[in-house]
Amino acid sequence: MGSGFYKAFEDRHRGSRSLIKERLRVYLPFVEPLKRLYPGCRAIDLGCGRGEWLELLGEAGIEACGVDIDADMAVECRKLGLNVEEGDAISFLRSMPDESQAVVSAIHVVEHLPFPEVQALATEAMRVLRPAGLLILETPNPENLVVAGYHFYVDPTHMRPVPPQLLSFLTEYCGYCRTKILRPREDPSLAGDRPLGVLDVLGGVSADYAVVAQKKAPEECLAPFNRAFGAAQGMNIESLAGRYDAQQNEKIRSIGGMLNEKIDGIREILNRQMTTLQTERDVLQATLQAVYNSTSWRITAPMRRAKRALMKVLPGIRRVSVKAVRLPSRLMLPVLTKTARWAAGNPHLVSVANKLLERSPVLRAWLRRLVITKTPAQVATATDTATVATDLPRPAQRVFEELKAALGRVARHTRGQ
């Protein structure tokens, strides 16, 4: 990585020195008893970075030195008057004498190391710590899903998140007598009863966590640390998710209760309306029954039966009547048509017919329509007419002959006058 890059990156994303020092004060209650147990005790900070924890230890009266693999970080710390060397943290720790340190700390270091080196760090720290000495390991918290899925990978030197259960087990496995998981950076408002949102569950757990492990020592040496180890450790994702689920279930129950009240109200209204409708139905049925039981209804019963019988046969009667009316029309129309056309060919008959038809314009127009399709040149001759008449059915021929004879009588009578 290029010179100066990682320091510039830390200055941008780590936060100010004053902010980091304020966050690291959470470890001072663990460290304070060591000053009484070991006056003039010493501490070592692996991967000390910009030196905030070293500075805080010095202010607390503990002599501390640090080591960092980044040369720019080491130079910056020395400018602040801090005792910092450039080098590899594990190698530096291995060079320390047995039981020479009261505190070994690695703030945001283990996420940069392969796990075998993390295990070596915990083992070597056990060796160099004095009885009741403390190992403090802080790292990004993968219980915070926003950190685990996003913020963790902003740092290009991070390898993989280390879950609290793994780091805690590692210190127990290495022989530390007690271990505490701290989650120091949770939102203070989460400690109340305010409603939680989805983002609170995803990112509300402390962004960092720390494992504070203590080396074995006589009980009287460990007792001063009981208060610090017994303090609350902060919320994990299980407890936060459980609170969210409980709030959602309560909200669902509340909504369900309101819906049940609404449904009960609607059901009551419907029941009242049903009762009213049933009452009205009973009244109508009683009224109808009274009509059925009345004298007038019994008297008019035969008339109703006759009407029903008539309605059944009326369509048949109507069809027969129509056919009976239309049958003579279909038989007579050809006869009348041919007779009218024959008479139209005789000028004398036309003259007589016109005089007779002057009193009936309707009949005159009707007869005109019978012959209008034929011009005078196309009017049938007497021979033609006789021939046409023979084409008619026998009843129609008789009608035609009778009409012809009547017209002849009219013509002779006219000529006699």
Residue ranges of domains in the chain: 5-235, 327-416
For residue 249, pLDDT over 80 is answered with yes
Rounded-to-integer distance, Cα 318 and Cα 17, Å: 111
For residue 328, pLDDT over 70 is answered with no
Q: Average pLDDT in the 276-305 region?
A: 87
Q: Average pLDDT in the 188-201 region?
A: 82
Q: Which range, 253-267, 323-337, 376-390, has the best average confidence (pLDDT)? A: 253-267
Mean pLDDT of the chain: 83
Q: Higher pLDDT residue, 5 or 101?
A: 101
Three-state DSSP class for residue 372: coil
Task: Find all residues with CB under 8 Å of 135, minimum gap 6, and list them.
Answer: 104, 105, 122, 125, 126, 129, 171, 176, 211, 212, 213, 214, 215
User: For position 364, what pLDDT does the model report?
Assistant: 67
Task: Find all residues with CB under 8 Å of 172, minimum gap 6, and list them.
Answer: 179, 213
Beta bridge partners of 67: 46, 85
For residue 413, pLDDT over 90 is answered with no
Q: What is the pLDDT of residues 66-124, one digit of tens each?
A: 999 988 889 989 999 999 999 999 999 999 999 999 999 999 999 999 999 999 999 99
Q: Higher pLDDT residue, 204 or 23?
A: 23
Residue type, 199: L
User: For position 382, what pLDDT does the model report?
Assistant: 42
User: For position 107, what pLDDT does the model report?
Assistant: 95
Beta carbons within 10 angstroms of residue 317's beta carbon? 10
344 backbone dihedrals φ, ψ, rounded to 5°: -65, -20
38-74 residues labelled b (16+ CB within 10 A) or e (exposed): beebbbbbbbbbbbbbbbbbbebebebbbbbbbebbb
Q: Which range, 115-119, 258-262, 397-401, 413-417, has the best average confidence (pLDDT)? A: 115-119
Q: Average pLDDT in the 217-228 region?
A: 95
User: For position 311, what pLDDT does the model report?
Assistant: 79
Rounded-to-integer distance, Cα 104 and Cα 125, Å: 6
For residue 50, pLDDT over 70 is answered with yes
Residue type, 261: E
Q: What is the pLDDT of residues 381-405, one digit of tens each?
A: 444 444 444 555 676 666 667 777 7
* H-run or E-run covering 337: helix 301-344
CATH assignment of 5-235, among 3.40.50.1980, 3.40.50.150, 3.90.226.10, 3.40.50.720: 3.40.50.150
The sheet carrying 84-86 orders its strands as 84-86, 63-68, 42-46, 101-107, 129-140, 208-214, 178-182
User: For position 22, what pLDDT does the model report?
Assistant: 92
Q: Higher pLDDT residue, 103 or 157?
A: 103
For residue 396, the Cα-to-chain-centroid distance in whole angstroms is 86
Report whether 37 contacts 235 (CB < 8 A).
Answer: no
Range scoring the smallest mean pLDDT among 47-56, 142-151, 347-356, 366-375? 366-375
User: For position 120, what pLDDT does the model report?
Assistant: 96
User: For position 29, what pLDDT does the model report?
Assistant: 95
Q: Which two tokens stand for residue 255?
A: 């909504």
Q: Higher pLDDT residue, 366 or 204?
A: 204
**N- to C-terminal Cα separation, the chain:** 147
Q: Higher pLDDT residue, 66 or 293?
A: 66
For residue 179, pLDDT over 80 is answered with yes
User: For position 368, what pLDDT does the model report?
Assistant: 66
User: For position 242, what pLDDT does the model report?
Assistant: 87
For residue 212, pLDDT over 70 is answered with yes
For residue 213, pLDDT over 50 is answered with yes
Half-sphere exposure of 33 (CA within 13 A, CB side): 17
- What would you report as the CA-atom Rg of the chain, rounded to the nearest whole angstrom? 60
Q: Which two tokens stand for residue 251?
A: 């909200």
pLDDT bracket for residue 251 (50, 70, 90): confident
Half-sphere exposure of 145 (CA within 13 A, CB side): 9
Q: Average pLDDT in the 173-180 region?
A: 96
